[in-house]
Amino acid sequence: MRLLALSGSLRARSSNSAVLHSALDLVDGPATTADIGALPHFNPDLDGEDATPPAPVATLRAAVAAADALLVVSPEYAHGVPGVLKNALDWLVSSGECVHKPVAVITASPFPTGGDHANAQLRETLRMMTAEIVTAACREIPAIGPKIDPTTERVTDEATLADLRTAMHHLTTAATE
């Protein structure tokens, strides 16, 4: 079971990246992260039959194609999906690597809402891309701040860790069925 994870935050001390790495710590087997910060802005002129996609795009597509499942962890910005993450997904729409790929969407926020708007929007975009949303593996994590150790940049809250373990179990099970 090869898992590929994407973080919607480029911030060095991102709470969502901490959630992402904590989730990956709980998974058996190879797990990698994709660098989506280096992707160019999506432009259909750079894609399609008569164009060679930019190198970072080809790298992302190969990583997604090689993965058995995707984990997307993201903050919410202005009740929406961070542009950097939507940009990455836009590069994957027509190339098809996400088709029937099991995907978990986790959003974490310092607020009680847990990034619910971004979570719903991400699921809708991925559903349109014909990814297999593993609903039992999706989470909206509220009040994330004190649940993370800033030194280790990992989740330390026991209940959140237990829930992440359950979520990853559902994702990996869906990927191996």
Site for ligand FMN in 80-109 (CB under 6 A): 109
Q: Draw the binding track, 41-80, toward ligand FMN (x: CB under 6 A; -: no contact).
A: ----------------------------------xxxxx-
d(CA 141, CA 144): 6
d(CA 155, CA 121): 25
Size of the site for ligand FMN (CB under 6 A): 15
Can you tell me which of 33, 59, 113, 156 binds ligand FMN, judged by CB under 6 A?
113
From the CB of 37, what's the least distance to ligand FMN, in Å?
12
Q: Which is nearer to ligand FMN, 109 or 160 (CB)?
A: 109
Site for ligand FMN in 146-165 (CB under 6 A): none
- Report which of 150, 140, 153 is spatially closest to residue 114, judged by C-alpha positions: 140
Q: Which is nearer to ligand FMN, 54 or 110 (CB)?
A: 110
Q: Does 11 bind ligand FMN (CB under 6 A)?
A: yes
Q: For residue 70, list its beta bridge partners.
A: 4, 103
H-type helices in 70-157, by residue range? 83-93, 116-128
From the CB of 15, what's the least distance to ligand FMN, in Å?
4
Neighbours of 1 (CB within 10 A): 16
Q: Which is nearer to ligand FMN, 87 or 113 (CB)?
A: 113
- Report which of 24, 18, 10, 12 is spatially closest to residue 108, judged by C-alpha positions: 18
d(CA 175, CA 91): 23
Which residue ranges make up the site for ligand FMN (CB under 6 A)?
Answer: 9, 11, 14-16, 75-79, 109-111, 113, 115
